[in-house]
Structures are given as C-alpha cells and as structure tokens.
Structure 1
Amino acid sequence: MIGDGMGVTQISAGLYSNNNQLNLERFPVVGLHKSYSADNLITDSAAGATAFSAGVKTYNGAIGVDVDTLPVTTILEMAESAGMPTGLVATSSIVHATPASFYAHVKQRKEYEAIAADLLKTDIDLFIGGGAKYFERRETDTRNLTEELRSQGIEVSSFVDTDLKKLKVKRAKRVAYYTADSEPVPFNQGRDYLVDATELAMDFLNDRDSLNKGFFLMVEASQIDWGGHSNNSDYIISEMIEFDRAIGAALNFAQRDGETLIIVTADHETGGYAINNGSVMGQIEGAFTSDYHTADLIPVFAYGPGAEQFSGIFENTAIFDKMKLLYGFSKR
C-alpha cells in the first residue's frame, strides 16, 4: 500500500486531524527507506515505484526499466508467473506512474497510451482506477483496449454504468473498473471508493487463489502527493485519512486471514510539509518548503508474516528484495 507523497508530517497531520488516532498505529513494525533515484537525490514516483516493483534504482521518469532503458521484471509479473492472482487499485488513473511501474515497461512516464497497451500484456486479475480515455479514445492508434480486454475475458465496468459499491464480481472472471475518464477527483470533491475498492480487491483475489499460493495487490492513495504539490493542507489531510481507512480495511482482512503481509510506505515526501506553531488538535497550520518532492527518509509499516524484515533503515529497492524473499521467488 503506497501513499504517494506521504512523509512523516503527512501522517502526523492526518493523525492530529482524526481524533489523534490512525490505523497506522496498529502496525508492530516500523522502518525507514532511502528514496533517492539513480540520477537524482530527489526521486519521482516513476523511479520510486520501480524501485519497489523491480528492485532497481533507475532514472526519474522510468517505468519498469533500468538506467539503460531495459525492461526489468516486476514483483507483479513474478507473482503471475508463480500462478498467483494479482491486482492494482489507485486513486489516480491506472496508467499513472506508480501503478504503471508494476506492469509497464516504457522509457518515460507520460507515455500513457503505451502504458495502457502494456497492461493487456499481463494476466492481471483486477484493476481499479481512472484513465478510461487512454484505453478507449487513443490518439496514437485506433485500438479500443476496452474491447480487447473484454475479448480476453475481462469484465469491464465503469463509474458511468455501475456503482463500485454495487459491483458484483464473479470468481471465474477477471475484473476491470474505470473510476474516471481521466484522473479521479479528490476525496473532498466526492471521490470515496478507495476503502470499498481495497476490500473488494482483497476478497476477490483471495477467492481466486484456488491453488492457495497467495496473491499480490498494490493499493495506491495517489492524491496525498497532489495535495503536497498544491501546498494544500486540507487536501493532504483528507486524502491521508481516506488512505488510513483503507489501511484499516486491509489490516482487518490480514488479522482474519493470518497469512497476509501488509506493507505501507510512500515513494517520496511531497511539499516539504511542516506543522507550524499555532496548530491545535483538529486544526493544522501547515507550511511548505517546495511544491515538489523532497529527499526525506520515508516510513515503512509492516504487519503479518515476515513483518520483522521491514524494521531498520534500508534502500527503497530492499522492499522488492524482501517481498521476493518472503514469496519464495527464485533469483532473477
């Protein structure tokens, strides 16, 4: 679970704005990772997520490729090769940098239509996020990727024709759900699907795990980052609290299941966010040093089998290495 742009201050602001409590407090293991990329002390989401997904430091803007622009195998692809169900949930478009880094292999993060096409090369079982236009009304070719998804046996729905809360998913089907034509709106403007999508995804992937091998799911709270870029405390806090509710739903599943590892972290901090003098519980006076990312160390929370692997201070690439080890995947 990735809170894009979520540093310690974003967590603190959410905590103090939510009756001084978060589900993050339920995690027994906390660590810190070093977020820098191969070409910059200040990473972007593409390089940061590729570090998590494939275990390599790469250049800013890279999606699932190394510094030489060669494709690198991702943890999602490894899980698919091992026969595990896989899924992605995001409050951005599904072709945005973080989710894209788990399935696509392109030189630059803005190649949204190429990224969408790469999704069809996977065996992904479920994805929920925005970006329908990159599948259906493409400028670089005449393909309708939604129809191609359906021809692969994937059940495609959207916010236009189906309420996510009423979406009925069948274990025998693979599922895609578009939450927006382009980018979803912020939580405080009416978007509220992250908790429901997280619960749906975990239950669905668990039900599809007919071989009892486990599953892989990446959930991104994308817009904590956008609040940082906007230097908007209220935006950050509302997105942070929604993310924490999704974390709570995931923890509840893991506690019932007893075999699920939950990892929560961020690709980087955004905004150089601080809580200033004059702040009180429930009313944060925020300040910013930047409208971009910073190089802060980033917290990592872990719960479940193998959680102890995530204590201490380590490179962001180590998150991939630890996941691969705990899954029992062979070396690349």
Structure 2
Amino acid sequence: MKRLLSLIIIAVVAANCQPKSQVEVPISKGTNTEMLPLVADKPIKNVILLIADGTGLGQISTGQLNLVGADDYLALQTMPITGIVKTHSSSSLITDSAAGATAYSCGQKTDNGMIGYLPDGTHCKTLLELAIDKGMKTGLVATSTITHATPASFAAHVESRRDEDVIAEHFLESNTDVFLGGGRSFFIPQTEEGSRRSDDFNLVEKFEEKGYSYLQTAEELKATNGDKLLGLFADGGLDSENRTPTLAEMTDKAISTLNNNENGFFLMIEGSQIDWGGHGNDSEYVIREVKDFDDAVKRVLEFAQKDGETLVVLTADHETGGLTMMTDSEDPHTLQVNWVTDYHTGVPIPLMAYGPHAIKFTGWQDNTDVGIKIAELMNFGEFPINLE
C-alpha cells in the first residue's frame, strides 16, 4: 500500500525566509481518480464562470493533498480541459482583483482598482450585461461581500473598488436576478447597526420593491422559491469557519433559480476567501476555503453533466502569497509549504473548462481572452464594447 504524504504547513516571511509558524496537518485519502469526458460541441445555453480568488497551482495542490490525498483529485481537477492564464493589468505587472475580474467581464485590460471602468474614463459592457440583453437570467455568488471587486466587475461601473456603497446602487439598476453573498452593511441605511453607508438610502427596501426576495439566513435561502433573490448573509464577508450558508448551498440555489428560462443563464461564482488566506499566509484558512470552493465546483459539474448544454469555465484572478511546496530534507514523504509574500504575485494561473466547446480554453491565454471567447461562444455579437 502506497505511503501517503504527510504535510507540514510553514508560513515564511518573505524578507528573511524564516518560518513564522508550523502546523502539521493530517492528509486524508479520497476515491476520486476519474477525469470527466470531453463533451461533443453543440450550442451553449448556459455559462457558469467559477473564479477562485488568489488561487494558483500551489493552493490547489495543497488543498488536494489535505482533502483527498496524493493519489486522488479534487472535483475541479477532474475537468478535462486545462490552460494557463497571464494576469497583468494595464497599470501593473501584478493585477488586483478589480482589474483581473474586469479583464474577464469586459475582455479588456484596465488599471488596478477599477470596476468595469477603463483608464480613459469610459465604461465597458460586461458579459453579464450582454447576457441580460440576450434574454438570459443572470446571477452573482461570492463568499466575500457581494459588492467586492470580483462580483462587482460583472454588474457595476466605478473608478474605485472601494466604493462598495455605490456598487450596491449599481446592482439595483443592473437587472441581475440573483445576488448571494455577504455585504449587508452596504445595503442598509446609516441609521441601522452595522451600516457602512453614509446616507439613509435603504437598498434592501428598494430591491424588495423590485420583486426580490430578501434572505438573511441559510434556512431562508433553502425555503425560498423566489425568482429574484437578494441574499445577504453577513455584514461583511461570510465566516470562514462553520460557514452558513456554504458556497455549495448558495450555488445550488442560484442554479435552481436561474435554470427555468428558455434563453439560458449566466452565473459567476467566486471562492473569494482563498485569497484572504493567502494574504494572511494562513495555510489552514486556504485549505478550508479550497474545500468550500471545490464543494461548489462539484455541484456545478454534476448539474452540467446532466444538463449537457452548459459551459463551465474555472480560473482565478491572480495568485496570492507565492505559495510553493518543497520536500523536507529529513523526510521525503513530508512537504514544506512556504510563502514568499503577503500580496499578489504575477505567476500565471490555471484555467479549466468542461462542456460544449471547452477545448477553446486550452493552452496559454491572456485573461482578456477568456471573456472574449465566452462572448464569442454565446453569440453575444460585438465584444469588447466601450460605453460613455
């Protein structure tokens, strides 16, 4: 019987490369070793874009070793098509999430910090907005505030990602069908406890007036049959430990809500806090978030296999932390996981795809290519598009 690798997590300070913590994490062994098959090309009805914020091969491999073992695969690793994405923004070789997500949503480079907004002051039309124009249903799901950089880049246009209160207002006018995540603080008036608005605008009431079901708990999420959902399950990001609802639960509800439209749907799902674990050089946090994200990926792939008309594309916006693994000098069955920074890196990131025309996403891509190819496959017409 093959000996399983044991894994020692070590956070290393970039300045002097000395470990600042050491935690031994047991490795479990799963049973998933089969790759999903290629799917025959046909017209695509639905697109599900999964973004694992801050995730590179190191984060995926560390999660795999801890969650399923050295010989098995995470759900995301079973996708049959793989590629590599370059991530630089127009203002830096190291992108942030705003510019990285805008590259996907708009098919164009922008400066770090900008949300659906270009350096020349114009706005860019997003994949989600084009999907709405085509009569598709649309949704955004995240474990951060729903107004955070990645989800915001699909349904808002602001010069600074910090303007989450304004982003929430843009969401109200976007006609997006499903919003699920954290960020209640940006939707409630300043007079209410926990608010991070500087005015008395009650966006929750405005959403309800437009027919949205307002959800605050996992129980309400499970019970709702609404066609339009505003789920805000925390004032800020969702708790990482003992998360409720989980990303998988939000994903299930988003798919079931959107999948009743003859024109199909566009859904973006973000595993937001893998990035936060990277910023903290906290490997246990990263592993926990990889599991939460991969559980959601499994639900998406199960749906896509049954549906047969859904393209699934999975990638990241950038890598965070420079996570890498080396063999321990004293034990070849032990790995050291090291961090080189507490910020983003310029290391290219993985890209995976499943479903009709998934082969389009193999090889090296610029991050803008991903959005452009999705728009092309969905027959969205002219893209990229600049707006005044």
Report the counterpart of residue 143 of structure 1 in structure 2: 201
Verify the 8 A CA contact 2:327 2:334 in the aligned structure 1.
no
Report the counterpart of residue 197 of structure 1 in structure 2: 250
Q: Choose which of 346, 365, 368 in structure 2 pairs with 1:314.
A: 365
Distance 1:192 1:142 in 2: 28
Report the counterpart of residue 184 of structure 1 in structure 2: 238
Q: Choose which of 129, 132, 135 in structure 2 pairs with 1:83.
A: 135
Pairs aligned (count): 324
Q: Report the 3-state secondary structure (helix = DSSP H, G, I; strand = E; otherwise coil) of the residue aligned with 1:102.
A: helix
Q: CA deviation at 1:192?
A: 4.9
**Is the counterpart of residue 218 in structure 1 residue 272 in structure 2?**
no
CA-to-aligned-CA distance 1:281-302 (integer Å, 9 cap, x gap): 9986321110000001111000
Which structure has more strand as a fraction of its residues? 2
Q: Report the 3-state secondary structure (helix = DSSP H, G, I; strand = E; otherwise coil) of the residue aligned with 1:120.
A: helix
Report the counterpart of residue 269 of structure 1 in structure 2: 319
Pairwise mapping of residues 95-244 of structure 1 onto structure 2 (< 5 A)? Answer: 95-138=147-190, 139-159=197-217, 163-164=219-220, 166-170=222-226, 173-186=227-240, 188-207=241-260, 209=261, 212-244=262-294
Q: Choose which of 22, 28, 37 in structure 1 pairs with 2:74.
A: 22
Q: CA deviation at 1:13?
A: 0.5
Q: CA deviation at 1:18?
A: 1.6
Report the counterpart of residue 51 of structure 2 in structure 1: 2
CA-to-aligned-CA distance 1:49-68 (integer Å, 9 cap, x gap): 00000111000000010112
**Is the counterpart of residue 32 in structure 1 residue 123 in structure 2?**
no
Verify the 8 A CA contact 2:116 2:124 in the aligned structure 1.
yes
Q: Based on CA coordinates, which of the two structures has the bigger radius of gyration?
A: 2
Q: Structure 1 residues 267 and 259 mapped into 2: Cα distance closer, same or farther (>3 Å)?
A: same
Q: Report the 3-state secondary structure (helix = DSSP H, G, I; strand = E; otherwise coil) of the residue aligned with 1:88.
A: strand
Q: Report the 3-state secondary structure (helix = DSSP H, G, I; strand = E; otherwise coil) of the residue aligned with 1:242.
A: helix
Report the counterpart of residue 381 of structure 2 in structure 1: 330
Distance 1:281 1:302 in 2: 33
Q: Which amino acid aligns with 1:148?
A: K
Q: CA deviation at 1:157?
A: 1.3
Q: Report the 3-state secondary structure (helix = DSSP H, G, I; strand = E; otherwise coil) of the residue aligned with 1:136.
A: coil
Report the counterpart of residue 343 of structure 2 in structure 1: 292
Report the counterpart of residue 94 of structure 1 in structure 2: 146
Pairwise mapping of residues 51-66 of structure 1 onto structure 2 (< 5 A)? Answer: 51-66=103-118
Q: CA deviation at 1:182?
A: 1.7
Q: Normalising by the residue count of structure 2, what TM-score does the alignment of the two structures yield?
A: 0.81
Distance 2:224 2:334 in 1: 40
Which structure has more helix as a fraction of its residues? 1
Distance 2:333 2:173 in 1: 46
Report the counterpart of residue 40 of structure 2 in structure 1: none
Q: Which amino acid aligns with 1:25?
A: Q
Verify the 8 A CA contact 1:17 1:281 in the aligned structure 2.
no
Moved more, 68-77 or 130-139: 130-139
Q: Percent of counterpart pairs with the same letter?
A: 43
Q: Which amino acid aligns with 1:175?
A: L
Q: Report the 3-state secondary structure (helix = DSSP H, G, I; strand = E; otherwise coil) of the residue aligned with 1:319.
A: helix
Moved more, 39-48 or 196-205: 196-205
Distance 2:220 2:235 in 1: 15
Verify the 8 A CA contact 1:19 1:282 in the aligned structure 2.
no
Structure 1 unaligned segments of length 5 or more: list them: none
Structure 2 unaligned segments of length 5 or more: list them: 1-49, 191-196
**Could you say what the CA RMSD is over the residues aligned between the two structures, in angstroms?**
1.7
Q: Choose which of 87, 90, 93 in structure 2 pairs with 1:41.
A: 93
CA-to-aligned-CA distance 1:196-243 (integer Å, 9 cap, x gap): 111111121012x1xx22100000000000000000111111101211
Q: Choose which of 296, 304, 319 in structure 2 pairs with 1:254.
A: 304
